[in-house]
Every structure is written in structure tokens, then in C-alpha cells.
Amino acid sequence: MIIVRSLMGALFIFGSVVYFFKLFPQPAMTGNIKVFMDGVTASGYLMNLIKATELVCGIAFILGRFVPLAAVILFPIVINILLVDIYLMPTALPAAVILLLGNLFLAYYYRNNYKGLLAVK
């Protein structure tokens, strides 16, 4: 669990730091993925919000604090990464599948923490 949590945390932190500090040039995009990313960028806030969320949750994963909450918060982001890769960028699909499996593993590991969240009342 510590290995999966730490690797996912490092990946999310790395991706956020690279985005915010523009450490690497953005690869040229064409076709539908370019249209999609242009739309996300045009919103002016969405990509910053996503990357800030990934950064905070990545730090939580690395520190081992609030991991069940971070896993829940990251789940919609991971699903979106997976769907974008399936429909728009299939070459990046293996990384998305690994992220999904890691998130599902953490959710399973912390399943007892979610009992109150999933209780029918």
C-alpha cells in the first residue's frame, strides 16, 4: 500500500510541478486532443484547478495523511484521464490504466473508511 500510494503521489506531484513551472515544452497536439485541450485551456481556470487538486492530493499520498479522502477526490480526475486517453489519445492509455488500478487498490485498502459514506440512511 505504501508503495502504490507513494508512486501515485510522486506522479501527481511531478505532473503538477511540471505544469505550474513549465519545466518541459508542451508536446505538439493535433486533431481532437488539440481541440479538447484548447477548450480546457480556454476556460482559464479548469486546468489550474485540476493540477492544484492533483498537487494537494499527491502531497497527501506522500505524507500518508487523509489518503482515503485524497483517493475519493482524485477518482473523477483519474476517470477523466482514462476516458480522454481511450477516446482521444490511445497511446497514453497504459499510464491511465495504471493510475486507475492504483486508485482502485487504495480505495479497496481503505474500504472500511468508506462504510459511513456508502451507508443507506
Contacts of 58 (CB under 8 A, 6+ apart): 8, 9, 10, 11, 12, 13, 16
Q: Is the pLDDT of residue 117 over 90?
A: no
Assess whether pLDDT exceeds 90 at residue 104.
yes
CB 67 within 8 A of CB 60: yes
9-42 per-position pLDDT tens digit? 999 999 999 999 999 998 889 999 999 999 999 9
**pLDDT at residue 62, as a whole number:** 98
Whole-prediction pTM: 0.93
- Alpha-carbon distance of 21 to 14, in angstroms, equals 11
HSE, CB side, 13 Å, CA atoms: give it for residue 52. Answer: 5
d(CA 111, CA 121): 18
Q: What is the per-residue pLDDT for 97?
A: 97
